[in-house]
A and B are shown apart, each in its own frame.
Chain A
Amino acid sequence: MEKQSAFNIHPMDQFIIDPILTGDSLEWYSFTNQALWMLISLVSISFVFIYGSRKHQLVPGRLQSIAELMYFFIRDMIIDIAGQEGLRYFPYIFTVFILILFGNVLGLLPYSFTYTSHIAVTGFLALSVFIAVTIIGFVKNGIGFLSLFWISSAPLALRPILLIIEVISYFVRPVSHSIRLAGNMMAGHAVIKVFAGFAGALGLGAIAPIFAITAVYGLEMLVVVIQAYVFTILTCVYLNDALHPGH
């Protein structure tokens, strides 16, 4: 594909799933680079939340502050959006949040693997949220959950049209929910990789792409946190719809 070896830019290579223990064959149980980074994020989470706050300090230290900040940020968010009943689902939502947040942030390390850039991962998470929220909606409200689609505050003539729109938008939720996250992660990393390829090819002129990488990296720092936040807040919004379907 490439004419010169200098322009060896493979921005998508970083997303290749590679079995790292079992040679080249990828079975469903093979331990891959993706699984490794999930494990690393699990260890990091344990480090921040369990080691960082092991002293149960009244006035938190640095690590405990970070842990508390994340914990109470999500807790307050659920209460704000879904109300006190939403707190029942806090462990699930918090698990999703830190899994995505740590995946995103660790993915910014050079040579790391961003598991949240994979549509299989985000799609699975989004589908789980979608299915869980639908089940919660029907269990909590019975058939009344369908009032989510029948907007009683709208004029009667508009309601059938709104019904169609609402039903479509409801079923599009897991798609937009997952692609938003995976797309953001993939695009940012690919852009950095492309600029890095330019830097490798330009010699002394590499100062410009390196500057660009720095800028994009700064932007990505923002994006990874915001995307984790967006995924979580949308989960809360969907949960709120399930708990209180009347608009």
Chain B
Amino acid sequence: MASNSDNSAVGMPQLDFSTFPNQIFWLVVFCVVLFAIVKFFIIPRMEDIFANRRKIIDGNVAKAEEIRLRVSEIEKQIEEELQKAKSQCDEIMNASGNIIKEQMALALEDSKIATTQLISEAEGRLKELRDGSEAAIEKISEELASEIISKISIGK
């Protein structure tokens, strides 16, 4: 029919309509077979591979999310601990500051008392000294007066 035994095409073999039934017959046959292969072998396999991959990726993403949550929890805990430690530290510092202040106030009080005591002691001693010197002056002046009187009376 269409095939040329001398293997030389006349014009375009594509337009040799006598070959069309044969071409279309084999095309339909192979299309149906290929469709069956695609439908029953290729698609299930590819979808299976894809689903598996999706599952593992999703699993890993979920795990990562979980780890992230745990990390943020741990961070929060660290923050809390830090806060606690800070407040404790503040407390201790306040307490020790108060103690120091108290002690300082006490020491100041002590030293104040001691100084006032010292001052009053010194004042007392000063007064004593002054009193002593007044009496001595009185005595000396008395003696001096009596001596002057006696001297004057002798001279008479």
A-to-B contact residues, CB < 8 Å: 10, 12-13, 15-19, 24-32, 34-35, 38-39, 42, 45-46, 49-50, 53, 56-58, 60, 64, 67-68, 71-72, 90-92, 94-95, 98-99, 115, 117-121, 124-125, 182, 186
Contact = CB atoms under 8 A, between A and B. Distances in A.
A42 B37 contact: yes
A39 B30 CA distance: 7
Interface in B60-119: none
Contacts of B39: 91
Give the interface residue-count category, chain B: 35 or more
Give me the 10 closest cross-chain CB pairs, A-B, nearest first: A35-B26, A28-B21, A12-B9, A120-B23, A15-B13, A38-B30, A49-B42, A17-B19, A26-B1, A120-B20
Nearest to A190: B12
B31 to A, nearest CB: 7
A56 B49 contact: yes
Given A26-B19, A38-B30, A120-B24, A49 B3 contact: no
Contact of B27 (A16, A46, A50, A121): A121
Contacts of A182: 14
A56 B46 CA distance: 8
Contacts, number: 142
A141 B139 CA distance: 146
B41 to A, nearest CB: 5
Contacts of A64: 49
Interface string B23-54: 11111111101110111011101101110110
Contacts of A35: 26, 29-30
Contacts of B25: 28-29
A138 B19 CA distance: 33
Contact of B13 (A17, A24, A38, A95): A17
Contact of B43 (A91, A120, A121): A91
17 contacts: A26-B18, A27-B22, A29-B25, A32-B23, A32-B26, A35-B26, A38-B30, A39-B30, A49-B46, A50-B41, A53-B46, A67-B42, A68-B49, A91-B38, A94-B43, A98-B38, A119-B15
A16 B46 contact: no
Given A117-B14, A120-B24, 11 more contacts: A16-B7, A18-B3, A25-B1, A34-B23, A50-B42, A53-B46, A56-B52, A94-B43, A120-B23, A124-B23, A125-B27
